[in-house]
Structure 1
Amino acid sequence: MGIKDDVNYVKRELSGDEKVLESAFKLESLYKKYKFHLWGVIVVLILFFGGEAVMGALHEAKLEKANEAFLTLQNNSEDANALKVLQENNPALLELYTYAQAVKKEDIKGLESLSTSTNSVIADASGYTVGVLNKKPVESKLYKEMALFEEAYLSILAGDVKKAQNKLELIDDRSSLSVIREFLMHSTVKAN
């Protein structure tokens, strides 16, 4: 039985090796048939990921230049070169810097120009600040409750207590302005 088992074992091994060789030949024929497609996909993947890495590095470099220019402007707001670098590398950060400077200097013309910005946050904040500086009520998404409070206050100054009360009622009870709202509502009740 030992020789018979050995012969069967050898047959199985040869059969397994035969199958491996057959698979290798199939794989080789598939490779020959599709090698241009395969290499094309590999090249495209390499170019894609390489391009992504290069674009990411360029973006990071632009942000770093913009941050350096921003820090320079914080120390010296008159640095024209830093303004130019910031404009070229991060216009949104330049708008934010311009907004901060205009608020600090109470520059109404500068704020009015920023109120037409494509950045909705800068545009809304600038419009609200212009309204506050001009003591005129304005609508604001960011400062909705502050705008309502400001309108109520201006109405009280104008003698229109009813309008002030209506505006104050629009301020949410969970708002941080609710305590001040209650004091102002109380003072309008006494004014009636």
Structure 2
Amino acid sequence: MSLKENIEALKEELNSEEKFFESAVRTERFVKRYQKPLIGSVVTLLLASGGAIAYSAYTNAKIESSNVAFNTLLSNPKDTVALKTLKNDNPELYDVWSLSQGIARNDVTLLDSLKNSKAFGVSDIASYESAAINEDKAGLESYTKTQGALYKDLALVELAVMAIHQGNISQAHEQIALIPEDSPMYQVGRSLSHYGVK
């Protein structure tokens, strides 16, 4: 290697070191300038992660607690501590439990209190069961007009039976005719129409 080549290699090496130091200085200036926002971002990220972990643990503890309370109620329905725990930790599961108790005891007051429940299906079933237990014709008719009613076809059969008991055969036929063919209650309606309504 000649002296000129050595000098050129040395210059290139110095230029690369100079660029490295220049970028280090820029990075240091950037960090000094934005030190507080960077620290704030890191702290926020840590707090958010910690909060998410804590919330997940809290939610899991409530689910576990409500499951234990529900299982306790299944074996001992009069356990007031388990009932209170279930009501506080999982109101929707509490509503399901209350619905099962209302149906088992034919407790119309309890069923009526569940008509505004947020738990899936509880309000719907409570409305049907309350009207069926009371043999409330207007309640059953109103229920059959509710969009997405779970027991609509069963309510139509109930209305037809009520009409038969009242001697109103044409109204019974009208109720039975409203049951769609793809319904599990269709065959019951046909049998009722054939044997009960002549």
- Give yes or no for TM over 0.5: yes
Give the deviation of 1:99 after TM superposition.
1.2
d(CA) in 1 for partners of 2:179, 2:3: 98
Counterpart for residue 56 of structure 1: 56
Counterpart for residue 44 of structure 1: 44
Contact 2:93 2:119 in 1 (8 A): no
1:143 aligns with 2:151: yes
Counterpart for residue 154 of structure 1: 162
TM-score (normalised: structure 1): 0.85
Counterpart for residue 132 of structure 2: 132
- Are the structure 2 counterparts of residues 182 and 3 from structure 1 closer, same or farther at C-alpha, using a change threshold of 3 Å? farther
Counterpart for residue 183 of structure 1: 191
Give the deviation of 1:144 after TM superposition.
1.7
d(CA) in 2 for partners of 1:163, 1:10: 106
Give the length in aligned residue pairs. 190
Give the deviation of 1:120 after TM superposition.
6.2
Counterpart for residue 32 of structure 2: 32
Report the AA paired with residue 113 of structure 1. S
- Are the structure 2 counterparts of residues 10 and 179 from structure 1 closer, same or farther at C-alpha, using a change threshold of 3 Å? farther
Give the deviation of 1:55 after TM superposition.
1.6
d(CA) in 2 for partners of 1:115, 1:180: 28
Alignment gaps of 5+ in structure 2: none
Give the deviation of 1:43 after TM superposition.
0.8
Counterpart for residue 87 of structure 1: 87
- Percent of counterpart pairs with the same letter? 33
Greater CA drift, 164-173 or 23-32: 164-173
Counterpart for residue 18 of structure 1: 18
Give the deviation of 1:30 after TM superposition.
0.7
Aligned alpha-carbon RMSD (Å):
2.4
- Are the structure 2 counterparts of residues 180 and 11 from structure 1 closer, same or farther at C-alpha, using a change threshold of 3 Å? farther
Give the deviation of 1:6 after TM superposition.
5.3
Give the deviation of 1:134 after TM superposition.
2.1
Report the AA paired with residue 28 of structure 2. E
Alignment gaps of 5+ in structure 1: none
